Structure 1
Amino acid sequence: MDPRKYATLLAVVQESAAGRDGNARALLDRAIGDHLEAGARAEDLHFYLFARALTRRLASGLAEEINLYLRQFQDTQISLFNLLARHLPTVALTAPLANELLARFVGGHDEVTLLDIGIGSGHQEVAMLRRLGQQGRLPKRLNVIAIEPDAGSLIEAQMALFEVSVELGIELEFVPMHKVVEDMSEADWSEVSAFECPLVVNASFAAHHIQCTEGDTLRDRIFARLRELDPDAVVLAEPSSNHHAADFVERFNAAWHHFGITFKLIDQLDVTPEEAGAMKMFFAREIEDIVANGEQTRCERHEPVESWVARLRRAGFTPYADFGFARETRHDLVRVAAHEGYVGLDYADETLVAVICATSGVPAANRPRRVRRFAGLQAVGG
């Protein structure tokens, strides 16, 4: 991409960060008008997605013009997520890698509890159970405590897990918590700790949604609560970039860099130009949240992977180290690499997405068993 386009947007961001929104808006409108008149190219989608986010932040008068350009990609009939899951390795490889780790800690028990933060529709968990079935290591009984703010997804996860439990012949108890993890009450935390069997925690692309500002300690406090539960393992899947920064210029630069590298990766995939454009549009919502929304309303607060590993250490967890299986996962464009505390999906010499794992340091068999205080908890649904 022409570096002048980045320089133009950076100047807009710097003016806005300095409180000169009028100057920023004038710069942005002129830049968009010039580039649209010069003729937009598909390879410039990186520029236009960030420019649109800035039009929303600054209430620019050219928001509709840029939307007209982007509509050619929005109108595609391709299912964006399915397209990413098939072709983009930083998406396609993440769940299998996380499931390899989860299976190590969930499998082989008579009874085990999975605390799933942001379970979504449960597709990852279904795949993990089928993997354990292939290995002959299914637990006899699985308790799933599912934290999920979307009610429809929670119902889908419940149905999917009950169906696979019947298929595989295991007992399932499903405990739905229709909320985000930061809204868990003392009673909720007690309910999790009530199970007397080994506990495993999973959070796939969910931990960065914990709502706190850069200087807040809420994420540290939540991980400290998780450590109090004494889980056998915590497995996280997270993009690696500093979109948690309160400084607007720093956050913009981190986002421009992270998504720019992701778009370069997409451009190297064996897909049509239309599919490549559609895949980039999948990230439009994240870009807009990071760039357009105010500090108190932003949701996509990604952090560098090193920050997550450090947070787990501060909470008292021990980074996991047995990532030899990563060598068995290969891709032509990304490197699946073991690092300290995580497996990285690396491209252009940096980690774009990380699968992070840490343990409590003491195997469940060597710990006192938990006392289950909530006798009579029953599975919901069916």
Structure 2
Amino acid sequence: MVLYDSATSAASSSGSSSSSSYKQPQQQQQQDIDGLLAGAGYKVRSSELRQVAQRLERLEIAMVNSPADFSYLASDAIHYNPSDLASWVDSLLSEFTQPPTCPAEFIMDPVTNQAVVNNAWTSTEPHTPQVHQNISFERQSLNHQLTVVTAMEEDSGIRLVHMLMICAECVQRGDLPLASSLIDDMQRLLTRVNTVCGIGKVAGHFIDALSRRVFQGIGGGSISGGSAYENEILYHHFYEACPYLKFAHFTANQAILEAFDGHDCVHVVDFNLMHGLQWPALIQALALRPGGPPLLRLTGIGPPSPDGRDSLREIGLRLAELARSVNVRFAFRGVAATRLEDVKPWMLQVNPKEAVAVNSIMQLHRLLGSDPTRNSPIETVLSWIRSLNPKIMTVVEQEANHNQPGFLDRFTEALYYYSTMFDSLEACTVQPAKALAEIYIQREIANVVSCEGSARVERHEPLAKWRTRLNGAGFRPLHLGSNAFKQASMLLTLFSAEGYLVEENEGCLTLGWHSRPLIAASAWHAVSDAAAEMPAWDNHQPS
């Protein structure tokens, strides 16, 4: 007999009307919660959180009731996504629901008084040692957890890149409060990824550079790169850690050596002496030249020493000692200048009878800044270089486009370029050279991102733009011959990494990592005004 039909019906009717009045607000509230979860990066609905909690409760009950030792299930893995956590719990629950297994027990047979094996609790495969099963499960569980952690790191890395781009866009349009908020978010997200290598390391440097720009203003405080002594130390370690500077020196030296063929008095003007690392190889090559070595004059330009010592002269003395040991007549002159545009031609004391070579390793891009109060630095310097009538001008520059007027375009290009550069540095096994080389690159990033105006000196441009500029300034290209290509390729055999690649590009050489060129070497010679009207590639063929 049913006693409460009417009451049940009434309650049902009342409940139906009540639920219909609250249904829409409850759905809206659930949607709001889902929106907050999505905004925080969780790929889960609020309705699924109850299922996650139920699974955790089942796991706790299973672990309490299990006689097995499950300490090996402990893990340092942190699950930021509840869906991942639910999957992980399900995998553990499936293990606890397997048929129970335990090692075979030895008991005494009362009839024979001998030990026998009790197989009552053994698995269907008694010959498989239990320890092997435990190891197999442990590996399976560990592999699953590592997969989850790796996926989480990849997801965080992708989010970092997107947030960097959004932050750069905010900086470009002047929304510094939002950029500041994004920087805080990125710094927190950075704790979830590996910052020792990969995108985590690169993102950390770009976050620091954006922070300088946003919180310290354009100029980033002082991104001058530290003292001249610090720059020389970092330059030296960048030289040791990776093949880029070695490639630049070897390629330029080979072109200079070929240009000096048949001349008895030669003069090299080096725009950035930096310990003179480039010139011992050229001195030794000239010593072996058929017919005897020429008289070599070297003029090295570098910053003045802050401590008052004449560091340029000290480098010149070491090079002079080397030249004397291989019977090469040698003369050195140092020119101290803070900026290359401050150098005047008369300071170089070039003799008209000398065969002159001008060498610029990653220096000309520093002259690309504009100043309305004076002439363009790059035009001024190229003009007096041409007045020296050099047999050859060797130019090595970063194969990048970091001189775009729009900040977002420049930032995007820099992020791509330096990600590849840091990727190539992972092939370096020399410490501490690798760590200091990374600081060298980090300072470049800070200048590209944090600075504007005259403070921004890292204005890298690609080879195509340099071709146009140098052709317009009265220079014509010289093909870097097959010898330069062979030497550059042989240089890479000294490095165990297989990712470095030398390529020929219309008479120039590039060195890059896999498919991305990172630096480009080219050679040029000055022509008369009449010859400047002729096509660029008239009669110069590879050697």
Give me the TM-score of the superposition, normalised by structure 1: 0.80
Contact 1:107–1:139 (8 Å) recurs in 2: no
Contact 2:238–2:436 (8 Å) recurs in 1: no
Give the superposition deviation at 1:220: 2.9
1:42 to 179, 184, 196: 196
Q: Look up the SS of the partner of 1:196 in the other structure.
A: coil
1:91 to 242, 245, 248: 245
Task: Find out whether 1:16 has 2:174 as its counterpart.
Answer: no
| 1:33/1:187 CA distance change after superposition, 3 Å | same
Residue matched to 1:235: 394
**CA distance, structure 2, for counterparts of residue 228 and residue 248 of structure 1:** 36
Q: 1:320-378: CA deviations, max 9, x gaps?
A: 1142120453333222122124211133323211111112369xxxxxxxxxxxxxxxx
**CA distance, structure 2, for counterparts of residue 337 and residue 222 of structure 1:** 29
Structure showing greater Rg = 2
Contact 1:317–1:360 (8 Å) recurs in 2: yes
Task: Find out whether 1:311 has 2:469 as its counterpart.
Answer: yes
1:200 to 335, 357, 369: 357
**CA distance, structure 2, for counterparts of residue 122 and residue 155 of structure 1:** 11
**CA distance, structure 2, for counterparts of residue 22 and residue 116 of structure 1:** 46
1:255 to 414, 427, 442: 414
**CA distance, structure 1, for counterparts of residue 291 and residue 207 of structure 2:** 50
| 1:350/1:135 CA distance change after superposition, 3 Å | farther
Residue matched to 1:226: 385
Give the superposition deviation at 1:128: 1.3
| 1:272/1:316 CA distance change after superposition, 3 Å | closer
**CA distance, structure 1, for counterparts of residue 431 and residue 333 of structure 2:** 44
Give the superposition deviation at 1:224: 2.5
Q: Which has the higher contact order (CA 8 A, sep 6+)?
A: 1
Residue matched to 1:125: 279
Give the superposition deviation at 1:279: 4.2
Give the superposition deviation at 1:145: 2.3
Residue matched to 2:183: 28
Letter in 2 for 1:283: I
4+ aligned runs moved over 6 Å, structure 1: 272-275
Q: 1:115-137: CA deviations, max 9, x gaps?
A: 11112221202221112224447
**CA distance, structure 2, for counterparts of residue 195 and residue 171 of structure 1:** 19
Letter in 2 for 1:246: P
Residue matched to 1:104: 258
Q: Look up the SS of the partner of 1:162 in the other structure.
A: helix
Give the superposition deviation at 1:181: 2.4
**CA distance, structure 2, for counterparts of residue 102 and residue 137 of structure 1:** 17
**CA distance, structure 2, for counterparts of residue 282 and residue 221 of structure 1:** 28
Contact 2:402–2:461 (8 Å) recurs in 1: yes
| 1:311/1:193 CA distance change after superposition, 3 Å | farther
| 1:99/1:138 CA distance change after superposition, 3 Å | farther
Q: 1:285-313: CA deviations, max 9, x gaps?
A: 11111111232211222111222222221
Q: Look up the SS of the partner of 1:271 in the other structure.
A: coil
Moved more, 278-287 or 16-25: 278-287
Residue matched to 2:22: none
Task: Find out whether 1:344 has 2:499 as its counterpart.
Answer: no
Contact 2:263–2:294 (8 Å) recurs in 1: yes
**Aligned counterparts, 1:121-270, within 5 A:** 121-136=275-290, 139-151=293-305, 153-179=311-337, 180-185=339-344, 187-188=346-347, 191-210=348-367, 212-213=369-370, 217-267=376-426, 269=427
**CA distance, structure 1, for counterparts of residue 334 and residue 433 of structure 2:** 36
Letter in 2 for 1:353: I
Give the superposition deviation at 1:197: 1.4
Q: Look up the SS of the partner of 2:370 in the other structure.
A: coil
1:54 to 178, 196, 210: 210
**CA distance, structure 2, for counterparts of residue 30 and residue 276 of structure 1:** 29
Identity across aligned pairs (percent)?
Answer: 21
**Aligned counterparts, 1:259-338, within 5 A:** 259-267=418-426, 269=427, 271=429, 279-325=437-483, 326-330=485-489, 331=492, 332-338=498-504
Letter in 1 for 2:169: Q
1:357 to 514, 517, 523: 523
Contact 2:501–2:514 (8 Å) recurs in 1: no
Contact 1:129–1:138 (8 Å) recurs in 2: no
Q: Look up the SS of the partner of 1:241 in the other structure.
A: coil
| 1:4/1:128 CA distance change after superposition, 3 Å | same
Give me the TM-score of the superposition, normalised by structure 2: 0.57
| 1:93/1:322 CA distance change after superposition, 3 Å | closer
| 1:277/1:187 CA distance change after superposition, 3 Å | closer
Q: 1:178-234: CA deviations, max 9, x gaps?
A: 11320124643xx54444211111111222222623998431332132112211000
Letter in 1 for 2:412: N
| 1:212/1:227 CA distance change after superposition, 3 Å | same
Residue matched to 2:45: none
Residue matched to 1:4: 159
Contact 2:250–2:488 (8 Å) recurs in 1: no
Letter in 1 for 2:302: E
| 1:192/1:6 CA distance change after superposition, 3 Å | farther
